[in-house]
A and B are shown apart, each in its own frame.
Chain A
Amino acid sequence: MARLRLATTWLGGCSGCHMSFLDMDEWLIDLARMADIVYTPFQDVKKFPENVDVTLVEGAVANRDHLEQLEQVRAHSRLVVSFGDCAVTGNVTAMRNPLGKAEPVLRRSYIELATVNPQIPDEAGIVPALLERVYPVHEMIRVDYYIPGCPPPADRIRHVLEELIAGREPKLEGAELKFG
């Protein structure tokens, strides 16, 4: 069987899901034997590659950059997995949504709570514009599988990857689907 081309990406989240990914410890070595990790925040790859088999997406969709990344991910991945609660539900990243739009969030963060030099960062081309609302990934693109958890335990991630590598439908059940 051909080696799995695996990617992971990180949108609006705390990277805790990627930390949990690293918590798979020595199984990562097994994974490296079975799969090529072709794109991930752990490596310095600038451009999202083509012909990816599986992409794990951590984080919610919160700004314009995330949208562009998702566009690449969906266009070049056979399977997309929402990876962790932020990607699946919006979670903590989406806790700004009750404030309404992006402007009050920026104002609160960069003006009201600033101790020095209060200003909203708006360097064009450097700071991506926030979306008015934060969305879970499946609101933006078609998602094939979901791994809930904040963060998802390493075993849960491993189970899904093992199934995918084996060419089976990964199926989480019962408490393995617990949010939070």
Chain B
Amino acid sequence: MATQTLTIDGKLVTARPEDTILSASKDAGIDIPTLCYLDGLSAHGGCRLCMVEVGSQNRLLPACTTPVREDMNVSTSTPRLVEYRRMIVALLLAERNHVCSVCVANGHCELQSMAYALGVTHVRFEYLSPELPVDVSHDRYGMDHNRCILCTRCVRACDQIEGAHTLDVMGRGVNSRIVADMNQPWGDSVTCTSCGKCVQACPTGALFRQGSTVAEMEKDRTMLQFLVTAREKKQWLV
């Protein structure tokens, strides 16, 4: 089928049939908050920040995985959605030890900027304060589980872009943890190519370059899309 026309936040938008609500919104200059989505990687649908309302149906839909449909009427930031997003970010802030002031990613963290963009003034939930390790066994990179939000961008970057699949998730629920190979120190991993794509993909300070101190860990979040475009379209667009 040819192009689809839909309404997003009252604005008429034309989209390709293969577009999702998220990609169509982005092209139309409408910003939908995301944390687990990253251009260049497959959609995950886990963070639930991109939930939108469609038409009059009560059920919310994740923009990152919902294909556009002709005549869809999408609302991306109703009061209810904003309240849910605040709650989700607050849940993340309470889940692990996100101490922004002493974090390598302070000032460059998507969780931090998402919190203030959504107007999270404080966290009403109980801080869980889990005791979590920091893996600095790798020569070049470190993994701080205290800062991880389990978005799995690193896992997907490692699998889908680098093809190494060193990283994956073990455990379940709140005890889930990113692991290297069969849950061994990252430095002992035989599959890791030390490419660093996971570090660039990570939204927070959970993955960082060794030697970075507070606020020093800036990341290039366009790197993966650049690689994908280069590979698939042979276009080296910076």
Contact = CB atoms under 8 A, between A and B. Distances in A.
Given A88-B122, A92-B102, A177 B93 contact: no
Contacts of A139: 126
Interface residues of A, number: 30
Nearest to B105: A180
A127 B97 CA distance: 28
A174 B120 CA distance: 9
B182 interface: no
A136 B127 CA distance: 9
A97 B129 contact: yes
A178 B109 CA distance: 11
A110 interface: no
A148 B107 CA distance: 14
Interface string A48-61: 00000000000000
A177 B115 contact: yes
A146 interface: yes
A85 B106 CA distance: 13
Contact of B101 (A82, A97, A175, A180): A180
Contact of A179 (B112, B127, B129, B130): B112
B119 A179 contact: no
B84 interface: no
A63 interface: no
If over half of B's interface residues share one DSSP class (helix, strand or loop), that class is named, otherwise mixed; here it is loop
B97 A98 contact: yes
B117 interface: yes
Nearest to A139: B126
B112 A90 contact: no
Contacts of A150: 100-101
A95 to B, nearest CB: 6
Interface residues of B, number: 27
Interface in B114-150: 115-117, 119-124, 126-127, 129-132
A136 B122 contact: yes
B103 interface: yes
A180 B121 contact: no
A73 B103 CA distance: 32
B103 A180 contact: yes
A177 B120 contact: yes
Contacts of B129: 94, 97-98, 133
B115 A179 contact: yes
A14 to B, nearest CB: 10
A89 B123 contact: yes
A160 to B, nearest CB: 12
Nearest to A100: B131
A167 B82 CA distance: 28
B170 interface: no
Given A94-B127, A136-B123, 5 more contacts: A138-B122, A175-B113, A177-B119, A178-B112, A179-B112
17 contacts: A85-B101, A88-B121, A89-B93, A90-B127, A91-B99, A91-B101, A92-B102, A98-B129, A98-B132, A136-B123, A143-B122, A148-B121, A174-B116, A178-B113, A179-B115, A179-B116, A180-B99
